[in-house]
Structure formats: structure tokens, C-alpha cells
């Protein structure tokens, strides 16, 4: 892949990598602070967030695999955008139906906003890649 083609995917590559770093750090934090986090969020003691932590770490590995390819497949990037969109939508539903603590509500909302920002950056990266592909 030549340098010009690699540069046209810089935004997309950085967005995927940033998303991966945020996801792995979030997943690790969830696994390491499980009981404390459950209490902080105002959830019942019997709740476990381990599956969320493990899923985020697995997601981060997938994102890194996408981002490290010499040429990122647009279809892979769309998968990341859609999954991030599902996270945001799911967070909105949870905010409406789960009795989080006030701090828990703010935390869920803040994380959803960060995930939305990654989705938007990835979408912009896809647009940038496609725009340059059409002009080439």
C-alpha cells in the first residue's frame, strides 16, 4: 500500500485505535473494580459486570486487528460504528429502566457520549476514505 493510500485512512485508523484503547482500559477497570463499581453504580450486590469487562477486552482486540491492517476494510469499520451505536442506544435504554445511583447515571451517560464520539470519528474516517477513493 502506498503512502498516499495509508494517509487517507489516518483518521479511521486513529479512531479505531483510540476506541480499542478506551475499550481495553474500560474492560480492565470493570474486571479489576467489579464489586466497587457495582456499588458505585447503585446496582444490587448480586450483579456481576464481568461479562461486560470481558466483552470490552475482546472488542478492543478486534478493533486493533481492524486498525493494524495495511488497508482497513470499510465493512470492518462499519461494524465498529454499528456496535458503538448499539452501545449508545443500549445505554439510553438502561438509563431509563435501571435504578442507577446519581453517579452511576452520570457515568453511564458519559461513557455513552465517549462511545458516540468514537462512532462519529470512525464514520468521518470512513467518509474520508471513500471520498478519496472516488477522487483517485
What grid cell was written down for 25? 482500559
User: pLDDT of 53-79, one tens digit each?
Assistant: 999 999 999 999 999 999 999 999 999
Question: For the residues 19-39, what does the mean pLDDT come to?
Answer: 97
Q: Please report which confidence band the pLDDT of residue 133 belongs to, taking 50, 70 and 90 as the band edges.
A: low
Categorize the per-residue pLDDT at 131 as very low, low, confident or very high, splitting at 50, 70 and 90.
confident
- Model confidence at 132, pLDDT cuts 50, 70, 90, reads low
CA-to-CA distance for 70 and 103, rounded, in angstroms? 41
Among 65, 60, 33, which Cα is nearest to 49's? 33
Amino acid at each position: 500500500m502506498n503512502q498516499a493510500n495509508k494517509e487517507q485512512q489516518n483518521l479511521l485508523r486513529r479512531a479505531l485505535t483510540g476506541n480499542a484503547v478506551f475499550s481495553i482500559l474500560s474492560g480492565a477497570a470493570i474486571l479489576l473494580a467489579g464489586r466497587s463499581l457495582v456499588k458505585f453504580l447503585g446496582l444490587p450486590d448480586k450483579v456481576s459486570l464481568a461479562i461486560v469487562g470481558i466483552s470490552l477486552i475482546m472488542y478492543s482486540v478486534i478493533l486493533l486487528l481492524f486498525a493494524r491492517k495495511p488497508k482497513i476494510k470499510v465493512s470492518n469499520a462499519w461494524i465498529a460504528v454499528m456496535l458503538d451505536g448499539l452501545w449508545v442506544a443500549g445505554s439510553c435504554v438502561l438509563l431509563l429502566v435501571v435504578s442507577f445511583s446519581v453517579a452511576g447515571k452520570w457515568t453511564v451517560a458519559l461513557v455513552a457520549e465517549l462511545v458516540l464520539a468514537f462512532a462519529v470519528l470512525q464514520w468521518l474516517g470512513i467518509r474520508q476514505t471513500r471520498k478519496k477513493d472516488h477522487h483517485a
